[in-house]
Amino acid sequence: EVMRYADSVSVLRDGELIMRTAVKDTSMVKIAELMIGRKAQKYVDSVPGRLESEEIALSLQDFHVDMPGEMVRGIDLDIRQGEIFGIGGLSGQGKLGIANGIMGLYSSQGKV
Residue 31 DSSP SS3: helix
Dist CA 25 CA 13 (whole Å)? 20
CB-facing half-sphere around the CA of 92: CA atoms within 13 A:
6
Domain-wise residue ranges, the chain: 2-36, 56-111
CA dist 99 and 96 (Å) reads 5
Confidence (pLDDT) at 48: 61
pTM of the model: 0.55
Rounded alpha-carbon distances, angstroms, from residue 95 to 7, 26, 36, 54, 85: 25, 25, 16, 25, 12
From the first residue on, what is the mean pLDDT of each consecutive set of 10 residues in the chain (112 residues)?
81 77 89 81 58 85 91 86 77 86 95 94
Which bin fits 14, alpha (ψ -120 to 50), beta or left (φ > 0)? Answer: left
